[in-house]
C-alpha cells in the first residue's frame, strides 16, 4: 500500500498556507505511476493556490519495488550528515518489515530486496534509474570516484553532488550531472564512456577495498567517504 498524509505548509514565495498530501511510503508494484513520477522529477511537486509558485516537498518515505528488488529509505537532503544514525534506523525498519524480525511471508519478499538509504530527490531517482539500466550502483559510485580523480576541476562541495542522470542514446555513454542536492539545480553535465563501467566491473580485486568502504551500510554513496570518519569496517583499527 502507498500511504499519504496531509501536511500544511507555507508557500516559500508568499507565505500563504498550502495543504498537500505527503507520501510516507510508496509501493511501486501497486502504484507504478509513482515510480514514473520520481523518474520524471515531478513526484511531490506542489503549486501555491495564491501566487502560483511551484515547489517540491523533500522526500521522506519508504520505497518498495518487490518486482525490481528494491527497498529504499528516501530521506530529505538536509539529513545527509546524520547518515550513520539513519542507516541504523533504516536497517531496523527493514528488519521488522522484511528482514529477520518480520513475519515469514514478508521475509520471503525481503530475500529479493536490496536495501538502500538516500538523501534528496536526485539520489533516490538515480537508484531507480540504475536498476532500470541494470547497473550495479556500487560500481557507479566507483565511476564517480574515478571521475573525481580524472578531471582537473570539480564543483565538489557540501550540498553539491554527482549523479548519473541519463544515457546518451547515440553513443551509449552515461550522462552524469553535477547538481545542487536540495534545489535540484543542474550545474554541469559530463558524458562518460560506458567502457569505464566495464573496466571497473572487470577488476573486482583492484576495487575491493573501495567496495568494502561503500558497502558498510545501506547508504551506498561516495559522499560517505568524504564525511567524517564514517563507519569502521571490521579490519580497521578504531581511531581516536
Ligand atoms: Zn504563494
> Model confidence at 100, in pLDDT bands (50, 70, 90)?
very high
Distance 89 CA to ligand 1 centre (A): 35
Q: Of 85, 68, 88, which Cα lies nearest the Cα of 137?
A: 68
CA of 137 to the centre of ligand 1 (A): 38
Q: How far is the CA of 50 from the centre of ligand 1 (A)?
A: 5
**Buried-state track 9-33, b at ≥16 Cβ within 10 A, e below 16:** bebeeeeeebeeebbeebbbeeeee
Asked which of 16-20, 169-173, 227-231 is least confident by mean pLDDT, the reply is 227-231
Assign 237 a pLDDT band (cuts: 50, 70, 90).
Answer: very low
User: pLDDT tens digits for 35-63?
Assistant: 999 999 999 999 999 999 999 999 999 99
Residue with cell 548519473: 164
Q: How confident is the model at residue 234 (pLDDT cuts 50, 70, 90)?
A: low
pLDDT of residue 240: 37
What distance in angstroms lies between residue 55's CA and the mean position of ligand 1's atoms? 10
**Which residues have CB under 8 Å from 184's CB, separation 6+?**
41, 56, 120, 121, 122
Report CA(15)–ligand 1 centroid distance (Å). Answer: 6
Residue 195 reports pLDDT greater than 90:
yes
Confidence of residue 239 (pLDDT cuts 50, 70, 90): very low
Cβ atoms of 164 and 129 closer than 8 Å: yes
Distance 8 CA to ligand 1 centre (A): 13
How far is ligand 1, taken at its centre, from the CA of residue 13, in Å? 5
Q: What is the pLDDT of residues 133-145, one digit of tens each?
A: 999 999 999 999 9
Amino acid at each position: 500500500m502507498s500511504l499519504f498524509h496531509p501536511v500544511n505548509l507555507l508557500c516559500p514565495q508568499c507565505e500563504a498556507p498550502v495543504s498537500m498530501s505527503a507520501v510516507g511510503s510508496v509501493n511501486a508494484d501497486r502504484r507504478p505511476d509513482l515510480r514514473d513520477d520520481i523518474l520524471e522529477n515531478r513526484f511531490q511537486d506542489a503549486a501555491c493556490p495564491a501566487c502560483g509558485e511551484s515547489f517540491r516537498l523533500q522526500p521522506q518515505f519508504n520505497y518498495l519495488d518487490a518486482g525490481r528488488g528494491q527497498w529504499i529509505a528516501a530521506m530529505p537532503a538536509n539529513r545527509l550528515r546524520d547518515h550513520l544514525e539513519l542507516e541504523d534506523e533504516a536497517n531496523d525498519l527493514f528488519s521488522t518489515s522484511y528482514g529477520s524480525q518480520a513475519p515469514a511471508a514478508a521475509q520471503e519478499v525481503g530475500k529479493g530486496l536490496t536495501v538502500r538509504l538516500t538523501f534528496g530527490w536526485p539520489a533516490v531517482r538515480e537508484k531507480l534509474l540504475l536498476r532500470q539500466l541494470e547497473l550495479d550502483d556500487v560500481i557507479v559510485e566507483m565511476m564517480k570516484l574515478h571521475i573525481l580523480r580524472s578531471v582537473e576541476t570539480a564543483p565538489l562541495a557540501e550540498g553539491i553532488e554527482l549523479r548519473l542522470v541519463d544515457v546518451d542514446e547515440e553513443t551509449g555513454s552515461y550522462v552524469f550531472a553535477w547538481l545542487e542536492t536540495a534545489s535540484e539545480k543542474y550545474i554541469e553535465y559530463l558524458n562518460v564512456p560506458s567502457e569505464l563501467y566495464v573496466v571497473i566491473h572487470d577488476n573486482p580485486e583492484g576495487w575491493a577495498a573501495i567496495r568494502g568502504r561503500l558497502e558498510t551500510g545501506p547508504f551506498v554513496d561516495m559522499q560517505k567517504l568524504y564525511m567524517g570518519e564514517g563507519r569502521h569496517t571490521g579490519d580497521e583499527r578504531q581511531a581516536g
